Amino acid sequence: MFDKDLAMLQVGASMMDPNHFLMIVLSRFELFHTFSADLAQQNTLIEEMLHLVIMVVGERYVPGVGQVEPLDEVRREILHQLCIRPMAHSELVKSLPENGNKETGLERVIDSIASFRKPGVTGRGLYELRPEWSRHFDLYFHHYSRADQSKVTGSEPVGLRRVVTGSLPPPRPPPLCPPFASLVNLLQSDVLLALEGAVLQWAGEPSGGGWTESMLQRVLHLVAMALLEEQQQLESSGGDEDVSFTFSSEAPSTSGSVLALLENLQSAPHLEVHKDMITWILKMVGNIKTTRERTYGSSVSVSHGRRPEEDKAERKRKAEMARLRREKVMAQMSEMQKHFINENKELFQQSMEELEAAAATAEHRRVGGAERRQLVTCILCQEEQEVRGHGRAMVLAAFIQRSTVLSKNRKRLDPLFVHPDLSVGVHTASCGHIMHATCWQRYFEAVQQKEQRRQQRLRGHTSYDVENGEFLCPLCECLSNTVIPLLPHALSPNAWGAGLSGTADDVSSDVTSSLRNPFSSGVGEMINTFSMSAYKVGLKVNPNEQDPRVPVLSWSTCAYTMQSIERLLMDEKKPLFGSLPCRQNDCLSSLTRFSSACWTAAPIRTPLTLAPDVSSCVSLCRCPRSGGDKSRAPTLCLVCGCMLCSQSYCCQTEVEGEDVGACTAHTFTCGAGIGLFLRVRESQVLFVAGKTKGCFYPPPYLDDYGETDPGLKRGNPLHLCSERYQKIERLWRQHGIAEVIGHAQEANQTLVAIDWQHL
């Protein structure tokens, strides 16, 4: 409903007889005969009519209608928006009405009713309602839709304002201005009392289907509003003759009245969900009558005033009974447990001996240095398999890519050797999900066949390229292009020593056969598969098993991956082999760091240090090829700091016989096909992998309210968030850019249709 429509209804209701006004409302809703005859009840219309009455009487936060200030209206709007869920600053601005000066007044009241929760590495800053303001919440706020009401009933801010009884009474309304003071008479009019009595009478019949929970809730809300209005007038009046609103006298506890029906409904089992509200209403009636008797010396009965003491004694009695019942049950359980142990003493003794023997055997095996068994489960067939050299091959989904994260000299292009001036290395990452080699082969063949069955016109770019051997992990859909074979644990030195201490004849045949053929054909095939993948990706050549560089490149990718992990963990101040025994940990850590020190003597390549605010970046937006002219789409490489013109003909370059944009061309010279850029005027980060894949990522620049500003539309000053930029840097150093792009394109298919090569 529009605010002006509600204002006109309030004006009309204040100038008319309340019964006459309600009769007109019933007529407009075509409910005139519904309450006077057993006709088919129109539940939805009845609910809407009751809701209209609630709004006409209860909406007083407009200057001139209620005794409020303009900021009180803004404060109430914010309060009810935050009761739905915590909101960002931009969301609140959009939800609030503007005055003639295009202002909402948000900044003047937000700090008094809400607390700001700063954003973390992800997300944005949110405003949360302060708990002390939850008591002003009104479920029938006139700007709420039905969807908003359903969301807010279970939200946390509302739960904070629940009273001890768990009820949700309406908030105390502000006093009405004198011209609208007669609006409250609607609550004690004969017509409304008759409507409320009819609904309560329908609700008292469990088998009756002529009422709804929402209808009864609205009636209880109207009764609670009337009692709050009467209490408020009693507290502010100087004598009995000054109180014109006497709802408790208009609805006495006689047979068939509203209060009498509520007393009957209080014990109804099918209305358990409304019991707290009914109890609150009856207690309120008792308090009002007690106040009248104490203030004016009236002889009004206060039978309901004794209810709090009676309820307190009843609760205490029930709690004592529950405690005695629990003690009795626990004693019975303890007795049954002792009886069961006595009857099965031999079985318990045997179980303890077996556990001790198993523990001793496990300790003997650990000390003796026996070979450790590794049991894994295939994610495709769910079969458990022991990792053995002569067993069925087990593999890990993995992704191999060329990397410049550790590079210092981009002119030297030889990924074979981990040189101090390395330009491009070969990095291997895995999601950790295990499959049988045969299961993986069948899965990959199915992916290939599915791609071939697609119509030619529908074969657009996807998040993975089957022709280059790429696929998605069957479980986590992580981008992969090869598999790593799982090999068994090697025998420890103690085990070798124990074997050599025996006779040579006992062990020579087994050792000789295992050294001669250590792996089955399946495991050997997977070793060859991984080696060929590293060779093909690292050198950008076709597979060739006879090339002597294959084993060298396999070692190179392992060394480069270990050095990348070691350097990352060093910066995070974490040990590389923290799970190993101290002696082996120190030895392996020293060797790893020694090998890494051969080329890490010079400073490691780190991402660009960004300016503290985005305005400084905008001032650098000059095209490098147009004589210093301003760039329309300036893009900053976050690795080397080069300023490029994205989506512009001036900086287009030919790569492998194809015209590509400046960003795509730059990825091949700076990042070996992987690039991360800041699009300055769009205020977004661009991730690119090759010519056909990319995605957008939240920028590291936030405003004072913890929000990004895509396209710089709001115009708020943006400042660098170091935590978010560190997350982008960590993604780059963990070689996770390609994985982020793959997940983004799988989640949002519109990204697939973008021509990333033109950026």
Summarised one tens digit per residue, pLDDT across range 435-474 is 999 999 999 998 888 887 775 545 555 678 888 888 888 8
Which amino acid belongs to residue 704?
D
Q: What is the pLDDT of residues 354-391, one digit of tens each?
A: 666 655 554 544 444 444 567 888 989 988 888 887 88
pLDDT of residue 281: 87
Same domain, 574 and 682: no
What φ, ψ does residue 665 adopt, rounded to 5°?
-65, -35
- How remote is the C-alpha of 440 from its chain's centroid? 33
DSSP codes joined into one string, 397-452:
EEEEEEE-TT-S-TT---TTS--TT---EEEEEEEEEEEEHHHHHHHHHHHHHHHH
Is the residue at 301 inside a domain? Answer: no
Of 601, 628, 652, which residue sits at a domain end? 601
Is the residue at 146 inside a domain? Answer: yes
Average pLDDT over residues 492-508: 37
How far is it, in rounded angstroms, from Cα 645 to Cα 625?
9
How far is it, in rounded angstroms, from Cα 323 to Cα 337?
21
pLDDT of residue 680: 83
Same domain, 407 and 530: yes
Nearest to 403 by CA among 563, 574, 602, 589: 563
Residue 625 per-residue DSSP state? T
Question: Is 421 in contact with 413 (CB distance < 8 Å)?
Answer: no
Is the pTM above the cut of 0.85? Answer: no
Of 152, 169, 186, which residue sits at a domain end? 169
Same domain, 556 and 682: no
More confident residue, 218 or 606: 218
The residues facing 435 across adjacent strands are: 395
Residue 150 per-residue DSSP state? H
- How remote is the C-alpha of 639 from its chain's centroid? 30
Same domain, 11 and 35: yes
How far is it, in rounded angstroms, from Cα 709 to Cα 716?
8
Q: What is the pLDDT of residues 631-677, one digit of tens each?
A: 777 888 888 878 888 777 777 777 777 888 888 888 888 888 888 88
Is the residue at 331 inside a domain? Answer: no
Same domain, 620 and 727: yes
How far is it, in rounded angstroms, from Cα 695 to Cα 352?
59
Is the residue at 305 inside a domain? Answer: no
Question: Is 479 in contact with 739 (CB distance < 8 Å)?
Answer: yes
Same domain, 132 and 198: no
pLDDT of residue 63: 87
Is the residue at 475 inside a domain? Answer: yes
Contacts of residue 684, Cβ cutoff 8 Å, sequence gap at least 6: 678, 696, 697, 698, 699, 708, 710
Which amino acid belongs to residue 210?
G
Q: What is the pLDDT of residues 225-273, one digit of tens each?
A: 888 888 888 877 755 556 677 777 766 655 457 888 888 888 788 787 8
Bridging pattern class, strands 384-386 and 375-377:
antiparallel
Cβ burial of 675 (10 Å; 0-12, 13-18, 19+) is buried
Is the residue at 444 inside a domain? Answer: yes
Average pLDDT over residues 518-533: 83
Same domain, 478 and 596: yes
pLDDT of residue 285: 85
Q: Out of 19-28, 343-352, 367-376, which region has the weakest mean confidence (pLDDT)?
A: 367-376
List the domain range (segments joined by +) for residue 227.
Answer: 1-68+174-295
Which amino acid belongs to residue 625?
R
Contacts of residue 165, Cβ cutoff 8 Å, sequence gap at least 6: 276, 279, 280
pLDDT of residue 513: 44
Domains identified in the chain, total number: 4
Residue 580 in this model has a pLDDT that exceeds 50: no
pLDDT of residue 443: 92
Average pLDDT over residues 93-103: 73
Is the residue at 496 inside a domain? Answer: no
Which amino acid belongs to residue 546?
Q
Same domain, 29 and 84: no
Bridging pattern class, strands 674-679 and 658-660:
unpaired
What tokens were used for 194? Answer: 């008759």
Bridging pattern class, strands 674-679 and 684-689:
antiparallel
Nearest to 158 by CA among 125, 59, 149, 106: 149
Same domain, 445 and 588: yes
Q: Out of 10-14, 286-290, 333-337, which region has the weakest mean confidence (pLDDT)?
A: 333-337
Same domain, 190 and 145: no
Residue 161 in this model has a pLDDT that exceeds 70: no
Percent of the chain with pLDDT over 70: 74
Same domain, 60 and 74: no
Q: Out of 114-123, 150-159, 270-279, which region has the weakest mean confidence (pLDDT)?
A: 150-159
pLDDT of residue 455: 58
SS3 of 225-276: HHHHHHHHHHHHCCCHHHCCCCHHHHCCCCCCCHHHHHHHHCCCHHHHHHHH
Q: Out of 142-151, 313-322, 663-672, which region has the weakest mean confidence (pLDDT)?
A: 313-322
Cα angle for residues 277, 283, 284 (degrees, 5° grid): 90
How far is it, in rounded angstroms, from Cα 69 to Cα 60?
11
pLDDT of residue 230: 85
Of 244, 272, 295, which residue sits at a domain end? 295
Question: Is 247 in contact with 187 (CB distance < 8 Å)?
Answer: yes
- Three-state DSSP class for residue 482: strand
What CA dihedral angle connects 593, 596, 601 and 606, to 10 degrees? -110
Question: Is 197 in contact with 215 (CB distance < 8 Å)?
Answer: no
Average pLDDT over residues 612-622: 68
Mean pLDDT over each residue of the chain, to the nearest integer: 75
Question: Is 700 in contact with 728 (CB distance < 8 Å)?
Answer: yes
How far is it, in rounded angstroms, from Cα 526 to Cα 387?
14
DSSP codes joined into one string, 682-737:
TTEEEEEETTTEEEEE--SEE-TTS---GGG-S----EE-HHHHHHHHHHHHTT-H
Is the residue at 622 inside a domain? Answer: yes
The residues facing 697 across adjacent strands are: 685
Same domain, 538 and 575: yes
pLDDT of residue 622: 67
Query: pLDDT band at 566, cuts 50/70/90?
Result: confident
pLDDT of residue 504: 35
How far is it, in rounded angstroms, from Cα 712 to Cα 630?
17
Q: What is the CATH number of the domain that holds 84?
A: 1.10.10.2670
pLDDT of residue 419: 57
What CA dihedral angle connects 69, 71, 76 and 79, to 10 degrees? -150
Average pLDDT over residues 56-72: 87
